[in-house]
Amino acid sequence: MRQAGTYSAILSGGVSGRTGPHSLPLARIKKIMKRSGDDVKMISGEAPIVFSKACELFIEELTQRAWMMTLQGKRRTLHKEDVAAAVMATDIFDFLVEMVSDSNGTQMAPATKSNISVAER
């Protein structure tokens, strides 16, 4: 699918949009969904399809934000700390705070709390 995502614009000078038809495996997604809680209802066959795209967008956004941290550090290799910094700087990624802290042992504070803001709703 060649739809240019909303977030492609943020990344100036980089690769915009996606070219490949890579999709996450639906069966795997469904498995993860079933394990997400103790009392998960039946899952329609179409729900994983929606998830597949949502995950792509999520990963794209997280990757982009992490990449911006990398750029701030004037580096060309994206490190775990960049991902952690992106999580800290983004409200909707709050659910990941523990995950990125745990892997580092301590909370990673970005050098500057960047003013990246998602478009106001």
CA angle centred on 58, ends 57 and 59, rounded to 5°:
95
72 near another protein, judged by CB under 8 A: no
107 near another protein, judged by CB under 8 A: no
> How many angstroms separate the first and last alpha carbons of the chain?
26
CB-nearer residue toward another protein: 112 or 118: 118
Residues 33-62 that bind another protein (CB under 8 A): 33, 35-37, 39-44, 46-47, 49-60, 62
> Min. distance of Cβ 102 from another protein in angstroms?
10
CB-nearer residue toward another protein: 35 or 111: 35
Please list, in sequence order, all residues whose beta carbon lies within 8 angstroms of the beta carbon of residue 36, skipping any fewer than 6 positions away. none
> Min. distance of Cβ 116 from another protein in angstroms?
14
> Min. distance of Cβ 91 from another protein in angstroms?
7
CA angle centred on 57, ends 13 and 17, rounded to 5°:
35
Distance of CA 26 to the CA centre of its chain: 18
User: How many other CB atoms sit within 10 Å of the CB of residue 94?
Assistant: 10
Which of 9, 111, 115, 121 binds another protein (CB under 8 A)? It is 121
